Chain A
Amino acid sequence: MEIEAATVDFEPIFALDGKLKLQSQVELAGTQCAYQTYGTLNADRSNAIMICHGLTGDQYVAGTNPLTGRAGWWDHVVGPGLVLDTDQYFVICTNVLGGCLGTTGPSTINPDTGQPWNMDFPVFTVADMVDLQVHLIDALGIDQLFAVIGASMGGMMALDWAARHPERVFASIPVAASWRHTAQNIAFHEVGRRAITADADWHDGAYRGLGVKPEKGLAAARMVAHITYLSETAFQEKFGRELPRDSKLSFVLDPEFEVERYLDHQGKTFVQRFDAASYMYLTRAMDYFDLAARHDGDLAAVFKGVGTRFLLVSFTSDWLFPTAESRTIVRALNANAADVSFIEIPADYGHDSFLIESATDFHDVLEGFLDGSARRRGLKP
């Protein structure tokens, strides 16, 4: 069942006083940030964990997502007694800048015109998303986050937090992340964007108010992206060459294989909860991500003097953000003799392994690292 985003109450929403200065030098007025919190902030405000969601994730980490009516995307990780134990930690998750679930983005109103921003929204970066979160924790009176954790695009944010605001982050946990978007990553995103702009309902991004959405294009973009999130093994094990019904080829060109029907379903459910323009901008922000760019490609220089503890996690079957990317980050951190842990978790599910409930090895590692960090931070005996 489709629920229009406009009918959902995204409270709480943080409204930034003043302007958000973007990396592009554009100053964005009237910026708002929708977020969710779980657990209780302790007296000295030292137990906050910021979760950064992935490209198409949202702030509804745990509990019921009001938009989909389904459990939050990390409901098995965040909660009382779980890995991110909300009896101990105060967990924050924001809808990122440019997202479409309550935070300022192309679908929100441009205060200068009173109309939706659409394609007039300025191009922003991962660093801009982080800076909006920095403003939020300022408002919440949190000097230092106990941890920042994120996978995929969220992993980029966890890295950027530690690189540019090291004093604000005690521990950073980039999962299935990379220090920059590779040419292959950018290429896949461009295919997705091209699918959207090729949709007759795109209307140069001004489809809002016309009663149409570029659903076919966005669905195709999601289908391509979804393939990159899984592994060949996952596809093979889940679908193989299975055909529905009588297992006979029908000699038609319509979707016939189980895998085709699955992708079709992925595309269709995605367009109900995500905005095409947001997808355009967010994929661009990931493409622009290159942590070493500010230091002429010297990644080790990025982490000079950074006192943050790190845990990097990669998954064996992740070919989108492969282990080699995490290893490059580890080497740059080692060059600074930084406090860094790293593990490559055996997992068949591909890039999306971080979302899987049965990824108990991953959860054990996370819990061990958080426990060790909590002892070092004085949160635990």
Chain B
Amino acid sequence: MSRPSVPRRADLRLIAELVTPGGRVLDVGCGDGTLLETLETEKQVEGQGIEIRNNRVEACMRRGLTVIQGDADTDLPDFPDRAFDYVILSQALQNMHRPREVLDQLLRIGRRAIVSFPNLGHWRARLTLLWRGRMPIVETNGMPRSWYDTPNIHLCTIRDFLVMCETLGITVEEGHAVGRDGSLRRLGAGTAWETLWTHQAVYVLTRSRRAPNGG
């Protein structure tokens, strides 16, 4: 059997720490299942994944993980309310066709959601656009991709994200900035300074009430 490995990605290591032990976890866009496997081994959760790419689904299944080949954009509405203690969306929000609806669904089917995404408000991205007049290149799974072949179709800044959460009646429980070197910093209210300096953001979200126009 494959040994559970420590996730190489800093945001995944952080997410693994943020999840409280036990309970059910849904990892939306679970990739090859590294995070799910870590959570099952170290946090004794009952994990389930959704992944769109066939070879990744197969990789998860080889590891004995529970995973559905599916599409987060369309499949989340199937699940009942509060079916999971945590729903995780790591580095996938920007790949969604309807990120707003997906976020809304995450908070419907999970008591808490943990979302990580690249911050387009980072100064490097801003400089690229301002000085070079070129689209910032955002890495996907460690691969820099040009604007024409990137799966990142809905990039946003930390502030954009927090505004959307507010619209959907979603409360931010805690936020963390993940640096390029894997360093961690606590995030506050999404100030201009935070937006400028955060490379990747990880937020723990909850919602005590249904959004007025959510779902």
Contact = CB atoms under 8 A, between A and B. Distances in A.
Interface in A68-96: none
A42 B169 CA distance: 54
Interface in B66-118: 66-70, 75, 78-80, 83-84
A301 to B, nearest CB: 13
A344 B69 contact: yes
Contacts of B54: 343-346
A244 interface: no
A337 B79 contact: yes
B48 interface: yes
A334 B63 contact: no
Given A334-B78, A346-B54, A340 B66 contact: yes
A123 B103 CA distance: 51
Given A331-B75, A331-B78, A335-B79, A364 B62 contact: yes
Nearest to B81: A337
A342 interface: yes
For the complex, would chain B's binding face be called helix, strand, loop or mixed by DSSP majority?
A: mixed
A322 B57 CA distance: 19
Which one of B46, B57, B63, B69 has the highest number of Cβ atoms from chain A below 10 Å of its Cβ?
B69
A23 interface: no
B192 interface: no
B63 A368 contact: yes
Interface residues of B, number: 23
A19 interface: no
A320 interface: no
A240 interface: no
Contacts of A335: 78-80
Give the residue among A340, A342, A346 with the most B Cβ atoms within 10 A.
Answer: A342
Contacts of B75: 331, 334
Contact of B69 (A342, A368, A373, A375): A342
Contact-size category for A:
20 to 34
A236 B75 CA distance: 35
Contacts of A334: 68, 75, 78-79
Nearest to B80: A337
B64 interface: yes
Given A330-B70, A340-B68, A368 B78 contact: no
Contacts of A305: none
A360 to B, nearest CB: 11
Contact of B68 (A342, A364, A371, A375): A342
Given A330-B70, A342-B69, A365 B78 contact: no
Nearest to B59: A368
8 contacts: A334-B78, A335-B79, A343-B57, A343-B58, A364-B58, A368-B63, A369-B61, A372-B66
Interface of A: 309, 311, 327, 330-331, 334-337, 339-346, 361, 364-365, 367-369, 371-373, 375
Interface of B: 1, 24, 46, 48, 54, 57-58, 61-70, 75, 78-80, 83-84
Considering the complex of A and B, which 9 residue pairs feature the smallest CB-CB distances, nearest first? Answer: A372-B64, A337-B83, A334-B78, A368-B61, A368-B62, A365-B61, A342-B68, A331-B78, A371-B64
